[in-house]
Amino acid sequence: MEEITDELLGRIRERASDPKRRYLNAAEHEARVELPVEEIERREEEWTRRHLARSVANTGKTMSEEEVQRCMREWRESRLATRRAMEAQMRSWGQTPPRFQSYIESEDYFSTSSDPPGAKPLVPPPTDSDWAHVEKTVGQRLPDDLKRLYAISDGGFGPGFTGLYPVKLIGSYCEDFRRRGPDYCGTVIYPKSFLPLAAERLDYHYDLETGRIISSNQNWENEELDAEDIYDIAFQSLAAMMEDWLNRF
């Protein structure tokens, strides 16, 4: 089984230090701010104008200022119609249209963090007591490579919408899955050797018997899969899963 080397651990640590690249939705969470509606509309217009200019330039064509103004005018009219329809619907429900809304800073969404190093530190690693609780739940000692990985932080980085689960959450999820199964319907048994680690479109579990990372599909019925097909081998090792995360986005 491939182990997590010091070199790999160093690359993981470096990636995890960037608040916008710690996990799948980190960039969105970091870029989201609350602003007055008027300010959001002003920023959206600036971004739309720049995006229009870039799109035209990428085609090798040009657009006159008159054409730009026409496109922007049509865009404003469409946005205004959408906002008025939304506000009318809210008022019909007895609601007051918000003065502030959540906004994602689009220009910074795909970039690395502009915060200085250490501005938003990771949470401290799990304690020996945290590990002992999980080991008591699963009935065996946990692998060293998992503990080495979590020495970076108690979750919050790596694969998953919010990164790897904190150790305490691993324990509680493990107990819950054993009671109700990974699909929460009791259709499929949750193996005692599995340890839940993270969730994206699929859930990821560490198989303590083989060292592999196993995926489970909560939407197996919607995807017309048989219950026995809910599990699949996602990665041959924890190291392979983390290497995939480093190369994915």
| 90-145: pLDDT as tens digits | 888 888 888 877 666 655 444 445 555 455 788 999 999 999 999 999 999 999 99
Average pLDDT for 45-58 = 83
Tokens (6 digits) for 109: 């969404």
Same domain? 138 vs 195: yes
Report if residue 116 sits inside a domain. Answer: no
Distance CA 177, CA 131 (A): 19
For 206, the enclosing helix (H) or strand (E) is strand 203-207
Residue 184, pLDDT score: 66
Taken in order 49, 54, 57, 58, the sign of the CA dihedral is negative
- Residue 36 sits in the same domain as residue 70: yes
Which of 67-81, 91-105, 162-176 has the lowest average pLDDT? 91-105
Are the C-beta atoms of residues 206 and 173 closer than 8 Å to each other?
A: no
Q: Does residue 182 sit in the same domain as residue 234? A: yes
Res. 176: pLDDT tops 80: yes
Q: Please give the single-letter amino acid code of residue 230.
A: I
Residue 169 included in any domain:
yes
In the sheet that holds 213-216, the strands lie side by side as 194-199, 203-207, 213-216, 231-235
Asked if residues 23 and 157 have their Cβ atoms less than 8 Å apart, the reply is yes
Residue 115 inside a domain? The answer is no
Rounded CA separation 130/126 (Å): 6
- Helix-helix angle 238-248:6-16, to 10 degrees: 40
Three-class SS state of 71: helix
More confident residue, 132 or 189: 132
**Count of domains in the chain?**
2
pLDDT of residue 109: 44
Looking at every residue in the chain, the average pLDDT score rounds to 85
Bridge-based pairing state of the strands 203-207 and 213-216: antiparallel
Output the CA angle 206-207-209, nearest 5 degrees. Answer: 145
pLDDT at 221 over 70: no
176: number of Cβ within 10 Å: 14
Residues 150 and 56 in one domain: no
Span 191-206, pLDDT tens digits:
999 999 999 888 999 9
Instruction: Please check whether residues 156 and 226 belong to one and the same domain.
Output: yes
Question: What is the token pair recorded at 176?
Answer: 């819950």
Which range of residues forms the domain containing residue 185? Answer: 6-17+122-248
